[in-house]
């Protein structure tokens, strides 16, 4: 039986990856420090004979017992609100955390896949974004802590590949959504759905002309799975190229939820990318992958998930207070 370590296991993507690899017959070791992750996302796996959980911060030395065949490094805050609240942790998990996991992969002779991001392209000047675009990132802006950590992560991963011959994979993840997104992480989908469910107006930032392309989580997980098992070491974009403006998206949410509330406009956050759409030619050619779930279907499943949250969870619209986790 193959053994895989998944960091960020209690997070949105990490928990879905745990499910996928359990389903595919792997022994899964999940790891998370639970700053932004939530054990609720994986509690259904507790007691499974092929699932273990380690409460650990990967920016500290990482040790797990036994052999490992694969490592998936998915531990990181992943929303602009989180970067503002925990900027140093965001930098550390992408840099020091990645270094620790590369060292572990080398020691265990495991293949490692690291979760990179469309944010390596910054506010892109090339559209749609191909993997050979170098990006347009403000190093010292609010998103810089995430973007630069992820860019460093790609560099150090490639260095371990070329210098140590480590088997490495790099996925550049574009906006992904689905059940288990954190309601209060500030991202647009939980924000809009939460607002609709609480009977609040929908907050569109700027004039809403900025675009995103949203990928359903099952498609994302399938792309990551195929990339891990492929023999391809260059970065691969995984995302859904179907692009929409944020204003049009807000209107879709109003239709989906039937809310009687209106759209209100708020200031556009600094360095908010104006347009984003993955070029997925590489994923199609190399992995035979393309997304299958359209937004209407994916958003209905996601909305149904958010409807299962309790009144109390829904009312908890304040952003999570991380201060108790932060070492001074
Ligand atoms: N956004 C918005 N209202 C909100 C939250 C986000 O209009 O309440 C916008 C945000 O400015 C951005 C887009 O939605 O243009 C996607 O934001 P998100 O934080 O989900 O992800 P990212 O900007 O990292 O793609």
The predicted-structure confidence for 170-199, as pLDDT tens digits, reads as follows 999 999 999 999 998 899 999 999 999 999
Return the percent helix, strand and coil in the chain, to nearest 5.
40, 20, 40
CB of 261 within 6 A of ligand 1: the answer is no
pLDDT score for 327: 46
**63-67: average pLDDT:** 96
Torsion (CA) 304, 301, 74, 18 in degrees, nearest 10? 90
pLDDT score for 78: 94
Phi–psi pair at 47, nearest 5 degrees: 95, -15
pLDDT score for 310: 87
Q: Is the pLDDT of residue 249 over 90?
A: yes
Beta partners for residue 170, in sequence order: 114
pLDDT score for 127: 96
- Average pLDDT value over all residues in the chain: 95
CB of 187 within 6 A of ligand 1: the answer is yes
CB of 272 within 6 A of ligand 1: the answer is yes
Atom of ligand 1 nearest to the CA of 192: 8
pLDDT score for 184: 87
Q: Is 308 exposed, middle or buried (0-12, 13-18, 19+ CB in 10 A)?
A: exposed
pLDDT score for 154: 98
Which residues, 6 or more positions from 170, have their beta carbon under 8 angstroms from its beta carbon? 113, 114, 116, 154, 157, 158, 233, 234, 235, 236
Of 150 and 320, more confident: 150
Q: Residue 119 in contact with residue 83, Cβ under 8 Å? A: no
Q: Is the pLDDT of residue 19 over 50?
A: yes
Distance between CA atoms of residues 236 and 238, nearest Å: 6
**262-291: average pLDDT:** 97
For residue 266, give the nearest of 283, 246, 293, 286 by alpha carbon: 246
DSSP 287: I
Q: Is the pLDDT of residue 322 over 70?
A: no
Of 322 and 187, more confident: 187
Confidence of residue 314 (pLDDT cuts 50, 70, 90): confident
Q: What is the pLDDT of residues 158-167, one digit of tens each?
A: 999 999 999 9
CB of 188 within 6 A of ligand 1: the answer is yes
Q: Which two tokens stand for residue 149?
A: 């950590």
Q: Is the pLDDT of residue 1 over 80?
A: yes
For residue 178, give the nearest of 16, 8, 66 by alpha carbon: 16
Q: Residue 6 in contact with residue 32, Cβ under 8 Å? A: no
Q: Which of the listed residues 205, 211, 275 should we mutate to test ligand 1's pocket, taking the one with most ligand atoms within 8 A of CB?
A: 205
Q: Specify the residue with its C-alpha closest to ligand 1, atom 16.
A: 188
Q: Is the pLDDT of residue 328 over 50?
A: no
For the annotated catalytic residues, the residue numbers are 146
Which residues, 6 or more positions from 65, have their beta carbon under 8 angstroms from its beta carbon? none
Query: How would DSSP label each residue in 237-255?
Result: EES---EEEHHHHHHHHHH
- Domain layout of the chain by residue ranges: 3-325
CA of 294 to the centre of ligand 1 (A): 20
Neighbours of 203 (CB within 10 A): 14
Query: How would DSSP label each residue in 16-32?
Result: HHHHHHHHTT-EEEEEE
pLDDT score for 311: 85
Q: Residue 35 in contact with residue 76, Cβ under 8 Å? A: no
pLDDT score for 315: 80
Atom of ligand 1 nearest to the CA of 276: 25
Q: Is the pLDDT of residue 323 over 70?
A: no
CB of 14 within 6 A of ligand 1: the answer is no
**118-126: average pLDDT:** 97
For residue 217, give the nearest of 76, 85, 41 by alpha carbon: 41
Q: Residue 212 in contact with residue 249, Cβ under 8 Å? A: yes
Atom of ligand 1 nearest to the CA of 191: 8
**82-109: average pLDDT:** 97
**134-162: average pLDDT:** 97
CATH number of this structure's domain 3-325, picked from the four choices 2.60.40.10, 1.10.150.300, 3.40.50.720, 2.40.50.140 = 3.40.50.720
pLDDT score for 226: 98
């Amino acid at each position: 039986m193959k053994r895989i370590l998944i960091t960020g296991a209690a997070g949105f993507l990490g928990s879905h990856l745990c499910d996928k690899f359990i389903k595919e017959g792997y022994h899964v070791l999940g790891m998370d420090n639970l700053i932004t992750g939530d054990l609720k996302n994986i509690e259904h796996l507790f007691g499974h004979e092929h699932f273990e959980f380690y409460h650990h911060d990967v920016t500290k030395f990482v040790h797990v017992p036994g052999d490992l065949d694969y490592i998936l490094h998915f531990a990181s805050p992943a929303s602009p609100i989180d970067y503002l609240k925990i900027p140093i942790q965001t930098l550390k998990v992408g840099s020091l955390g990645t270094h620790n996991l590369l060292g572990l992969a080398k020691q265990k002779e495991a293949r490692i896949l690291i979760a990179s991001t469309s944010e390596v392209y910054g506010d892109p000047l090339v559209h749609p974004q191909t993997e050979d675009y170098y990006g347009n990132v403000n190093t010292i802006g609010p998103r810089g802590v995430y973007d630069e950590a992820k860019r460093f992560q790609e560099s150090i991963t490639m260095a371990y590949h070329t210098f140590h011959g480590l088997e490495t994979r790099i996925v550049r993840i574009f906006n992904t959504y689905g059940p288990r997104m954190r309601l209060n992480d500030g991202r647009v989908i939980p924000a809009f759905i939460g607002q609709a469910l609480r009977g609040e107006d929908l907050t569109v930032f700027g004039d809403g002309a900025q675009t995103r392309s949203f990928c359903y989580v099952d498609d994302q997980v399938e792309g990551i799975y195929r990339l891990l098992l492929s023999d391809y070491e260059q970065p691969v974009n995984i995302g859904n190229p179907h692009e929409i403006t944020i204003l049009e998206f807000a209107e879709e949410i109003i239709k989906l939820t039937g809310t009687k509330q209106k759209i209100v406009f708020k200031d556009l956050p600094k360095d908010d990318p104006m347009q984003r759409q993955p070029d997925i030619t590489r994923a199609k050619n190399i992995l035979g992958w393309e997304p299958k779930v359209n937004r209407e279907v994916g958003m209905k499943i996601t909305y149904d998930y958010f409807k299962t949250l309790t009144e109390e969870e829904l009312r908890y619209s304040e952003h999570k207070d991380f201060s108790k986790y932060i070492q001074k």
